Amino acid sequence: MLTRQTPMLDRLQTWAHAIRRDAHALYLASRDPRVPWYAKVLAAAVAGYALSPIDLIPDFIPVFGLLDDLVIVPMGLMLVVWLVPPAIMAEHRAAASLALARPVSRMAAAVIIAAWIAAVAAMGWVGWRWVMNAA
């Protein structure tokens, strides 16, 4: 059964895609030497917050958990976009759009996660051996 999307849902999906693209563009702008230092610092902070799984207010708290994502990220994006020169921002938006269009490798993600798990397990084992030998 096919359902027709409502115009509001289409607008929300477009807005969410633009937020994701702009967050990536801000990350790119934060590394660009043509961007002023204060815009770089703010761009790195906003992009880090937008892309980080850690929130100021956890998402499981009703209303407020999602409200910080709906207010802090767009307001931060608007502020940084205002601070970054328009030509540079357009260049980074284009690069971010290309990056988002690339296919995602789930196998590479699995390998990276497995490597992190192995590294944490090895550090835990070495720490356990050190504690047991010290006792």
Q: At what angle do helices 7-30 and 37-51 cross, to 10 degrees?
A: 130
Tell me what the pLDDT averaged over the chain comes to. Answer: 83
pLDDT digits (tens, 9 = 90+) for 35-81: 999 998 888 888 778 777 777 777 777 777 777 777 888 888 889 88
Stronger pLDDT, 4 or 42, i.e. the higher one: 42
Higher pLDDT, 20 or 104: 20
What pLDDT is attached to residue 67?
Answer: 76
- Indicate whether 111 pLDDT > 90: no
Q: Tell me the average pLDDT across 95-123.
A: 86
How high is the pLDDT of residue 2? 54
Nearest of 18, 11, 15, 80 to residue 45 by alpha carbon: 80
The pLDDT tens digits for 22-34 are: 888 888 888 899 9
CA 32/CA 116 separation, integer angstroms: 29
Alpha carbon distance 28, 87 (integer Å): 14
Band (4; pLDDT cuts 50, 70, 90): low
Q: How far apart are CA 73 and CA 87, in angstroms?
A: 22
Structure tokens given for 121: 């397990």
Spatial CA neighbour of 77 closest among 45, 112, 121:
45
pLDDT range class, residue 11, cuts 50, 70, 90: confident
